[in-house]
Amino acid sequence: MYSFASDYLEGAHPDVLKALTETNNRQSLGYGEDEYCAKATQMLKNIVENDNIDVHYLVGGTQTNMLVIAAALRSYQAVITVDSGHINVHETGAVEYTGHKILTRPHVKGKINSSMIADIMSEHRDEHAVQPKMVYISQTTEYGTYYTLKELKDIYTYCKDHDLYLFVDGARLGSALVKDDAPALKDLARYSDVFYIGGTKMGALFGECLVIVNNDLKKDFRYHMKQKGAMLAKGRMLGVQFLTLFSNRLYFRIGEHENKCADILRVGFKECGYNMYVETDTNQLFPILDKKTWAYVSKEYAATFMFNVDEEHICVRFVTSWATSEQTCHDFVRYLHQMS
Amino acid sequence: MYSFASDYLEGAHPDVLKALTETNNRQSLGYGEDEYCAKATQMLKNIVENDNIDVHYLVGGTQTNMLVIAAALRSYQAVITVDSGHINVHETGAVEYTGHKILTRPHVKGKINSSMIADIMSEHRDEHAVQPKMVYISQTTEYGTYYTLKELKDIYTYCKDHDLYLFVDGARLGSALVKDDAPALKDLARYSDVFYIGGTKMGALFGECLVIVNNDLKKDFRYHMKQKGAMLAKGRMLGVQFLTLFSNRLYFRIGEHENKCADILRVGFKECGYNMYVETDTNQLFPILDKKTWAYVSKEYAATFMFNVDEEHICVRFVTSWATSEQTCHDFVRYLHQMS
Amino acid sequence: MYSFASDYLEGAHPDVLKALTETNNRQSLGYGEDEYCAKATQMLKNIVENDNIDVHYLVGGTQTNMLVIAAALRSYQAVITVDSGHINVHETGAVEYTGHKILTRPHVKGKINSSMIADIMSEHRDEHAVQPKMVYISQTTEYGTYYTLKELKDIYTYCKDHDLYLFVDGARLGSALVKDDAPALKDLARYSDVFYIGGTKMGALFGECLVIVNNDLKKDFRYHMKQKGAMLAKGRMLGVQFLTLFSNRLYFRIGEHENKCADILRVGFKECGYNMYVETDTNQLFPILDKKTWAYVSKEYAATFMFNVDEEHICVRFVTSWATSEQTCHDFVRYLHQMS
Amino acid sequence: MYSFASDYLEGAHPDVLKALTETNNRQSLGYGEDEYCAKATQMLKNIVENDNIDVHYLVGGTQTNMLVIAAALRSYQAVITVDSGHINVHETGAVEYTGHKILTRPHVKGKINSSMIADIMSEHRDEHAVQPKMVYISQTTEYGTYYTLKELKDIYTYCKDHDLYLFVDGARLGSALVKDDAPALKDLARYSDVFYIGGTKMGALFGECLVIVNNDLKKDFRYHMKQKGAMLAKGRMLGVQFLTLFSNRLYFRIGEHENKCADILRVGFKECGYNMYVETDTNQLFPILDKKTWAYVSKEYAATFMFNVDEEHICVRFVTSWATSEQTCHDFVRYLHQMS
């Protein structure tokens, strides 16, 4: 039995584990004030060609999302996203727990656009309703699509024209970063106010690297971290991991690898005649399977059930990761062919 | 330069790191629903001789404290602790952020007793004031002392008689567990409503093992975890670490080791004529040093400045850990002797 | 210029003001523990034929909504309503500020039904999403419609079968109470868990009378009131007002009067050929007017602009109240006729 | 039986009730956007000789305190006050419910001073503790004393030097305003960042008039009001009441009257040989009575029990108000004399 259910089923990429082991016995300051975090941050500043960013290392995605939103907004301000946004459906109301309303519109292939944002803005004009102040998007999205550089610029321009912050959740950023028409890291540092580079789903044991670009969002951020239980005592472990991921293009190589694996699966599904719920070319696939096929597949492989499409068909999610081997993908395709 | 400043300056105990490495490539379910967490939990149930406990694995101490308190209390309820309680001074208002007042009395050697609690209770009688509902203590305390089994029973009895929960923060529990007159794990599971076994300061890379004893506090706890950003995606890492710490008495052996190291330092300070702010026999020492000694010590060793005692003297904290060697402690004592 | 914009444009019904004046100089206990509140509560218990209710007197609607929801739900629990629900659009995120997500479906003539609730329930099944725990409806709704007794029973039955609380916001309850097929007060006390009898929009200077039916929601409610700034020092003023409204059928007579006034307007709009956005027979009307008519009307009368229907038409809200005279309504109709 | 227990036992001053009655039937805009609020605000601007203030009308004291503090502070910031501060003991954790810690020092005759504030500041220096950002004082204090203009200036100067806001709770402001050495309204508008002029305890049916002086605290305050359930629908009632209180020196005349009444009681207690817990010369008195006297007094008069002084003595609070007559006070003194 092999599982394509998610990209956090194994531990860490071997290089990350090696770095943790090699640095294990050295003493260093706690709470992210160590030399490893400092080095990783400097390396990232070089990559984005911008020294004027604040970088913080956090443990997980929900934690990072709630923290950024809570720190950026005043209590009566709201965040805009698509109905399928991770913060809207998969975080048990973490954002609302910090006091903020989430305003949504139905997603278009997992994405939002400036016209949808404008529509929400038109409904919120005075103190009898919440005040929209931030737009949250994910790169890649919950449906495996990604925003092109042009799309990101469009949204960012709208945000700047309407006094909104743009926050990019990069839990699966690596899979998009390696696309030609997607924003590079330095583009994210130019066309967003705050974004994060996901580690948990990209080869780290755990960890998200938060980049604050907008000066207005920088002040006292460590107070927010500590207060929300998000400041790791042995913060050096986050520094060591991201230092490794940023070195030798490891983060990008992982993105390339998982996309390559996904391509093998994608071709296989096509060859066998299965359609996709949404066409993607990142590490997430959403094939529509008839129930017989799903039963056959489930004998040897795990994937995530998404929803019923109709009486006979379901939408399923397959995800590849740094830990998926190309051979495993070929084996799966061969297995799929054997059914027909 | 060697630092006695804290017990989270290195990575993990070698056995813990080894276990993480060995299990790294296996696939397992996320969010703490894996086999390692399950095994660690069963092992703990055996240790405390009680199958009717709920066990959850969390990342850090502040996170655990705020989560437990927020989950246990209704919005108008308050938690009682000493003025030096970790939640009162070192967590940036994390508990207040979840909406709850902390009610305090001045500590006696880091500890609270039932008479202090009764005094607070007498001041809170109707709906114009908050309603005390929980007592929070730390084992060991912020001043390195510990509650004996008798003291724990006294406080617990008062709590049960007055409809209060008793919550024991065990960030440094190992150092107390190995004391003859201190409560054992099974005592904690009998004379508290909820407690945690600290990992971060006891040899883990990170992690706290929360034990919920009182049935009233168990319902939907995973909803709280997820909502507060405290559910680790790769939860298996917490399971693997605590499985290791619970095996072969490792957790206890670490406690014994760090106490032994602290004893060497303690004897050294005494021999050289230094008094302690509070007499302890755990892994934290609070010597009172004159400024000349502090300058001399600081040339080769780091420790934590606590506060000024008078014009000429300061109180300093030395902490030993799994990573401290006895030799290092002997070296320090010799260095101290050389000054005189 | 006369305004039909809302039902809170004047002070209090003369009987209410008279009662406040007559009792002004008597001393009474504060915070709602006075004899007037006690009498009003006993009168209400007689009306609903149920002594086992808890009654609290609050100042305003948003305050009451946030308080009831915050008191009833645990932090990870959510409240269900229609997209047009008052708590969802007109309260500046008050519910989210208390930490709770609002889950919505598009309204059908302002109303929700059990099938819409079931649809939301099906999407919330584990701790990675919020847990729905309450349904919130308004009687009358934001679009002037009302739930019949049968509809209320259906929703309540669904709620009881699925462990949900049913909360009825009665800010404009009087206008519905006098309808033959609508639930009477004693029905609300049978087929809801908590509801309130609005005063602010029904002839009081201010005030809402909250009725808690479900025992689970009663405990320590006054702590919640005090903590959220919702306990009036001179609580006797709320008691005096509701005592007056409950006496001599005043509350019902006001409902009858405002409906009668609205009927005059309704007939007038029909005679002049205007359609309604939603057909109602309570004190709120939503005529669709062409822009020329709106300009003509606006010269002498105020009403509330709702939204653009198309290039040429808008939806407008007219509201009648205890302070509207039948003559004023006849005058308006005559004025409307004069345009054609 | 006559009660001196508090200053909110009756309704409103006759002039206030008259004004409410006279304006009752006029239509006006809701939510504080009416002409009465506008006029009261302009009158106040003239009194404080400063047009650059924002004025908001709120219903009650706890509501005002929590709102101002929640609006002014970021989540990790704290408010400083004395241990006896109203927000610390009598508001059921309302401030903590909005997420903020209250930092205290023991009061000196109900008051704080800059040295006590400095002491707290010295303990809060980095992100591991909350960040003090506001000082809260009451004029008059919980123990009936008042800050002189000089004392207010001292505290304000310290606040400005240390980036702290100064917030003055004026629930009983009138009793202090009429003292020669106390700050006048225009002084409060110069030496504080935000303050309020209490109505509930000063002759209004209810209501507090909030004055925001510091520009940093003004933005979007109405959003905060609405979100916290503190925006009254018929806001005109607050405008009408404060317009009356500000006219013809009524607010000041009430202050003078209640002080005069208190003086009669004070002289009486002295004549009969009773000491005061704290010497005051405002409308609150704290005599220390032996238990026999308390029993005798309680046969004909009510007052508030504060605490036991020793086995034989208790501290009691007597309060006078606009509704207390001088004759009543003379009667009480005569009654007291009759006991001896």
Q: What is the pLDDT along chain D (340 residues), one digit of tens a residue?
A: 999 999 999 999 999 999 999 999 999 999 999 999 999 999 999 999 999 999 999 999 999 999 999 999 999 999 999 999 999 999 999 999 999 999 999 999 999 999 999 999 999 999 999 999 999 999 999 999 999 999 999 999 999 999 999 999 999 999 999 999 999 999 999 999 999 999 999 999 999 999 999 999 999 999 999 999 999 999 999 999 999 999 999 999 999 999 999 999 999 999 999 999 999 999 999 999 999 999 999 999 999 999 999 999 999 999 999 999 999 999 999 999 998 6
Place of tokens 């060793």: B301
B65 chain-A contacts, CB cut-off 8 A: 229
Q: What's the rounded Cα separation, in Å, for the pair B232 and B148?
A: 34
Contact B76 C227 (CB under 8 A): yes
Tokens describing residue B92: 């940036």
Which residue in D86, C38, C53, C222 sits closest to B125, CA to CA? C222
For chain B, the 3-state helix, strand and coil shares in percent, each to the nearest 5, are 40, 20, 40
What are D's interface residues with B at a Cβ cutoff of 8 A? 75-76, 78, 89-93, 96-102, 123, 127-130
Q: What's the rounded Cα separation, in Å, for the pair A173 and A259?
A: 12
Instruction: Note the pLDDT of residue A340.
Output: 66
Give the number of other CB atoms < 10 A from CB of residue B31. Answer: 19
Let me know: does C61 contact C171? Beta carbons within 8 Å: yes
Q: What is the mean pLDDT of chain B?
A: 97
Q: Looking at this protein, which amino acid is placed at residue D58?
A: L
> Would the pLDDT of B132 be above 80?
yes
Instruction: Note the pLDDT of residue C340.
Output: 66
Place of tokens 């970063």: A177
Contact A229 B67 (CB under 8 A): yes
Q: Select the residue from D79, D90, D101 to test the B interface by mutation, using most B Cβ atoms within 10 A.
A: D101
Average pLDDT value for residue range C215-234: 98
The string of pLDDT tens digits covering residues A171-228 is 999 999 999 999 999 999 999 999 999 999 999 999 999 999 999 999 999 999 999 9
Average pLDDT value for residue range C111-132: 97
The string of pLDDT tens digits covering residues A246-256 is 999 999 999 99
Number of residues that this document lists for chain C: 340
Which residue in B334, B196, B173, B132 sits closest to B259, CA to CA? B173
Average pLDDT value for residue range B289-310: 96
Let me know: does B322 contact B202? Beta carbons within 8 Å: yes
Let me know: does A242 contact A57? Beta carbons within 8 Å: yes
Long-range contacts of B186-191 (CB under 8 A, 24+ apart): B186/B47, B186/B48, B186/B49, B186/B50, B187/B149, B187/B152, B188/B48, B188/B139, B188/B152, B189/B48, B189/B49, B189/B50, B189/B53, B189/B213, B190/B50, B191/B149, B191/B152, B191/B153, B191/B156, B191/B166
Rounded to a whole number, what is the distance in Å from the CA of C139 to chain B's nearest CA? 29
Contact D232 C60 (CB under 8 A): yes
The string of pLDDT tens digits covering residues B205-255 is 999 999 999 999 999 999 999 999 999 999 999 999 999 999 999 999 999
Rounded to a whole number, what is the distance in Å from the CA of D336 to chain B's nearest CA? 30
Contact D233 C92 (CB under 8 A): no
CA distances from D321 to C36, C237, D301 (A): 22, 18, 15
C231 chain-B contacts, CB cut-off 8 A: 127
Give the number of other CB atoms < 10 A from CB of residue A83. Answer: 13
Contact C230 D63 (CB under 8 A): yes
Let me know: does B305 contact B3? Beta carbons within 8 Å: no
Q: What is the mean pLDDT of chain C?
A: 97
CA distances from C66 to A84, A323, C117, C219 (A): 26, 48, 21, 17
Number of residues that this document lists for chain A: 340
My answer on whether omega of the bond before D23 falls inside 30° of 0, hence cis, is: no
Q: What's the rounded Cα separation, in Å, for the pair D5 and D9?
A: 8
Average pLDDT value for residue range C251-256: 98
Contact B10 A26 (CB under 8 A): yes
Instruction: Note the pLDDT of residue B142.
Output: 97
Tokens describing residue B112: 């609270």
State CA B23 to chain mean position distance.
Answer: 28
Cα nearest neighbour of C87 on chain D: D227
HEC secondary structure over B104-142: EECCECCECCHHHHHHHHHCCCCCCCCEEEEEEEECCCC
Average pLDDT value for residue range C295-310: 96
| A285 confidence band (pLDDT: 50, 70, 90) | very high
Q: What's the rounded Cα separation, in Å, for the pair D53 and B337?
A: 66
DSSP string, D132-147: EEEEEEESS-TTS---
For B229, counting Cβ atoms within 10 Å of its Cβ (0-12 exposed, 13-18 middle, 19+ buried), the class is buried
Q: Select the residue from B67, B68, B226 to test the C interface by mutation, using most C Cβ atoms within 10 A.
A: B226
List the subunits that have 3+ CB pairs under 8 angstroms with A.
Answer: B, C, D
- Residue A18 DSSP SS3: helix
Let me know: does B130 contact B73? Beta carbons within 8 Å: no
Q: Is the dihedral of CA D306, D309, D313, D315 positive or negative?
A: negative
Which residue in A323, A230, A310 sits closest to A277, CA to CA? A310
C-alpha distance across the termini of chain A, in Å: 20
Cα nearest neighbour of A130 on chain D: D223
By Cβ distance, the residue of D78, D99, D127 closest to B99 is D99
Rounded to a whole number, what is the distance in Å from the CA of C17 to chain B's nearest CA? 30
Give the contacts of A302 (CB within 8 A, at least 6 positions apart): A1, A2, A3, A4, A5
**β D54-58/A54-58 pair status:** unpaired
**β C194-198/C208-212 pair status:** antiparallel
List the subunits that have 3+ CB pairs under 8 angstroms with C.
Answer: A, B, D
Contact C89 A127 (CB under 8 A): no
What are C's interface residues with A at a Cβ cutoff of 8 A? 75-76, 78, 89-93, 96-102, 123, 127-130
By Cβ distance, the residue of A70, A128, A231 closest to D75 is A70
Contact B92 A227 (CB under 8 A): yes
B130 chain-D contacts, CB cut-off 8 A: 92-93, 96
A232 chain-B contacts, CB cut-off 8 A: 59-60, 206
Tokens describing residue C231: 């306990």
Q: What's the rounded Cα separation, in Å, for the pair B86 and B83?
A: 9
Q: Looking at this protein, which amino acid is placed at residue D61?
A: G
Q: What's the rounded Cα separation, in Å, for the pair A66 and A85?
A: 13
> Would the pLDDT of A113 be above 70?
yes
Q: What's the rounded Cα separation, in Å, for the pair C92 and C185?
A: 29
Q: What's the rounded Cα separation, in Å, for the pair A262 and A280?
A: 10
Cα nearest neighbour of C4 on chain D: D27
The string of pLDDT tens digits covering residues B139-152 is 999 999 999 999 99
Q: Select the residue from C66, C83, C89, C97 to test the A interface by mutation, using most A Cβ atoms within 10 A.
A: C97
The string of pLDDT tens digits covering residues A308-319 is 999 999 999 999
By Cβ distance, the residue of B11, B27, B59 closest to A25 is B11
Rounded to a whole number, what is the distance in Å from the CA of A52 to chain D's nearest CA? 21
By Cβ distance, the residue of D11, D91, D200 closest to C25 is D11
What are C's interface residues with B at a Cβ cutoff of 8 A? 31, 70-71, 74-76, 127-128, 130-131, 220, 222-227, 231
| A106 confidence band (pLDDT: 50, 70, 90) | very high
Q: Which residues pair with D297 in a beta bridge?
A: none
Cα nearest neighbour of B124 on chain C: C223
> Would the pLDDT of B340 be above 90?
no
Instruction: Note the pLDDT of residue D176.
Output: 98
Give the contacts of B305 (CB within 8 A, at least 6 positions apart): B314, B316
Let me know: does B136 contact B80? Beta carbons within 8 Å: yes
Which residue in C202, C176, C82 sits closest to C137, CA to CA? C82
Rounded to a whole number, what is the distance in Å from the CA of B267 to chain D's nearest CA? 32
ipTM of the complex model:
0.96
Instruction: Note the pLDDT of residue D340.
Output: 66
Give the contacts of B289 (CB within 8 A, at least 6 positions apart): B274, B297, B313, B314, B316
Contact A227 D70 (CB under 8 A): no
Q: What's the rounded Cα separation, in Å, for the pair A113 and A121?
A: 13
What are B's interface residues with C at a Cβ cutoff of 8 A? 31, 70-71, 74-76, 127-128, 130-131, 220, 222-227, 231
Give the number of other CB atoms < 10 A from CB of residue C220. Answer: 15
C27 chain-D contacts, CB cut-off 8 A: 2-3, 9-10, 323
By Cβ distance, the residue of C90, C91, C129 closest to A92 is C129
Q: Is the dihedral of CA B59, B60, B61, B64 positive or negative?
A: negative
